[in-house]
Structure 1
Amino acid sequence: MRQIFDLDTRLGRRVNVFITAAIVLSMATLVADTHYAAADGGLPGWLWTLELVIWVLFGVEYVMRIVLAPSAWRYVFSFYGIVDLLAVLGGFANVPAGTSLRLLRLLRVFRVLKLVRGSEAIDRFRAAFRDIADELLVYLSASGILMFIASVGIYELEHDQPETLYTSIFDSFYWAVLSLTAGAEGYQPASFGGKLLSIFIVLIGLGVVAVPSGLLASALYKHDSQTP
């Protein structure tokens, strides 16, 4: 029975192909769901039935993985165990009582993460992240502190400006995250001090993506060079 999910066996590979097809079909039904919801015509019966079948399939898969796992608790709290659980919980959005809960509908998108199970590329990334975990933690902590200081600074400089968008620390933190990553379009400061702070944050943000990317690339290169 354990061969059902063993990718080193023919049966396991066939089951994996079947589950992969179900995941892709689930994403297609999610897209179709939004189409019919926008049309205000309600879901057709065949679509609701298909989503129900996929939900039952994922539920059976989750239970079988728990039963067949060498350590049930270890699987339940593993990355793939949590992904499988989210895939099942997302199916409750098909129940009439759960259709109004946006969180349940959002959980269905996590089913796509099931596609990475057994991927050698994911294993390489996992090993690389494990090697640079300490460096990333220090870097992310420093970035978080910097963004908080910047959000407080821009709030104090801009919250009393006419028609300001910086009405709270939360809005200011949103500006800080955008400035450090993608650019805070539409959040231009009005005061001189706010503009100087924006320039400083944007310049610092040039290294926000570069540093983690460099660490990850270095770790991946090290693993590739060690692989025979």
Structure 2
Amino acid sequence: MKNLRQIFQDERSRESYVFNIAIGASIFLSTLFIVLETVPDLAAYKNTFFIADIVFTTLFLFEYILRIFYTPKRWKYIRSPLGLIDLLSFLPSLLIFVFPPLAGLQELRVLRVVRILRLLRLFRIYKLITLERQKDRGAGVLGLIRSVDMEIYFLAFISTVTISGTLMHLIESKVPGTEFTSIPQGMWFAIVTISTIGYGDLVPITPLGKIAASLTMIAGLILLALLISVVGKSAQTLLFGSPIEDEEKLLSNKLKN
């Protein structure tokens, strides 16, 4: 009971750190299986994907129940965006298991991919814990901050590509003769669009598909701006040094004198 309380009430505890790593790995694997099960060539592994979904859904369900039970402000958590994302991480699959006829509803099955957004929160917790430990050791944290920021950016990029690819597959897969036959195909379109290459091998036809493609373009511009900011800071430090580090050295010399 005490360990469970530390996991959900003290994000900086070792127990919470290990638990969040395990949950993060589960989220990544479950999202990967959701993406792969849409590939026509992998239809033979349908039962494997189904069993894996049961396991991960059960895990996320119990985690959600425990988080509600041990979180001091439970109603605030339930109504918060993070709480809603946690709920969506297992609710679509749970509805399919409880009501089998819903399994044919593609929109509900694809909605499961939203669980990848949970990784952003876990990386934020990871950043806070890592920085605090570095401070306790008396080590520099500037380089670490930039390293973690790059990891968070990469995760945000993957999340954007996955969600955009899922939307494109969901919208365009109903068009006869479509090239968006799977989520990976949609992810390829998202990568080409975000990187502004635009091969033209995949083109949305439906109005909703074009809207989704436009949102992907806007997301790409935002990600590009973030990348310039993150990489720019690292390049500035590499070429000219860090003003903060210079101030720290100056203050240290004054204290010694």
Please give the TM-score of this superposition, normalised by the length of structure 2: 0.46
Name the residue aligned to 2:71.
Answer: 69
- When Rg is computed on C-alpha atoms for both structures, the one with the higher figure is 1
2:57 is matched with which residue?
55
Give the counterpart of 1:92 among 91, 94, 107.
Answer: 94
Query: How far off its partner does 1:50 sit?
Result: 1.3
DSSP 3-state at the match of 2:104: coil
CA contact (8 A) 1:116 1:122 kept: no
Q: Per-residue CA shift, 1:77-132, capped at 9, x if unaligned? A: 11210000111112136523221112221221111011112444999x9xxxxxxx
Match of 2:71, as an amino acid? A
8 A Cα contact 1:52 1:94, kept in partner: no
Q: Is the alpha carbon distance of 1:118 and 1:30 closer, same or farther for their aligned partners in structure 2, counting shifts above 3 Å?
A: closer
Residue of structure 2 in register with 1:117 after alignment: 121
Larger RCO: 1 or 2 (CA < 8 Å, sep 6+):
2
**Residues 50 and 118 (structure 1 numbering): CA distance in 2 closer, same or farther, change over 3 Å?**
closer
CA displacement at 1:64 relative to structure 2: 0.8
Would you say 1:107 and 2:111 are equivalent positions?
Answer: yes
Displacement of 1:49 in angstroms is: 1.3
Partner of 2:84 in structure 1? 82
CA distance in 2, matches of 1:24, 1:181: 22
Contact kept? 2:37, 2:43, Cα under 8 Å: no
Q: In structure 1, what is the equivalent of residue 141 of structure 2?
A: none
Q: Which residue is 2:196 aligned to?
A: none
Equivalent residue for 2:46? 43
User: Relative to 1, partners in 2 of residues 1:53 and 1:40: Cα closer, same or farther, differing over 3 Å?
Assistant: closer
| CA distance in 2: counterparts of 1:20 and 1:58, whole angstroms | 11
Runs of at least 4 residues of structure 1 off by over 6 A? none
User: What amino acid does structure 2 have at the position aligned with 1:69?
Assistant: T
Distance 1:16 1:109, change over 3 A: same
- Residues 172-183 of structure 1 mapped to structure 2, 5 A cutoff: 178=214, 182=217
Identity of aligned residues (%): 31
The answer to whether structure 1 residue 4 and structure 2 residue 4 are counterparts is no
1:113-166 per-residue CA deviation (whole Å, 9 max, x = no partner) reads: 11112444999x9xxxxxxxxxxxxxxxxxxxxxxxxxxxxxxxxxxxxxxxxx
For 2:105 and 2:42, the matched residues in 1 are separated by 19
The SS at the match of 1:105 is: helix
**Equivalent position of 2:143 in the other structure:** none
The AA in structure 2 aligned to 1:62 is Y
Shift of 1:14: 0.7
Structure 1 residues 9 and 33: CA distance shift in structure 2, 3 A: same
Which residue in 1 is equivalent to 2:27?
23
Cα separation, 2, equivalents of 1:69 and 1:75: 8
Aligned mates of 1:38, 1:118 — CA distance in 2: 33
Change (3 A) 1:41 1:94: farther
Structure 2: which 5+ runs fail to align? Answer: 129-148, 150-206, 234-242, 249-257
1:39 shift after superposition: 5.7
8 Å CA contact retained: 1:89, 1:104: no
Q: Structure 2: how far apart are the matches of 1:113 and 1:91?
A: 16
Tell me if structure 2 keeps the 8 A contact 1:62–1:85: yes
Answer yes or no: is the 8 Å Cα contact 1:83–1:113 preserved in 2: yes
Equivalent-residue separation in structure 1 for 2:51 and 2:216 (angstroms): 42
Q: State the alpha-carbon separation in 1 of the partners of residues 67 and 216 from structure 2.
A: 39
Secondary structure in 2 matching 1:117: helix
CA RMSD of aligned residues (A): 4.1
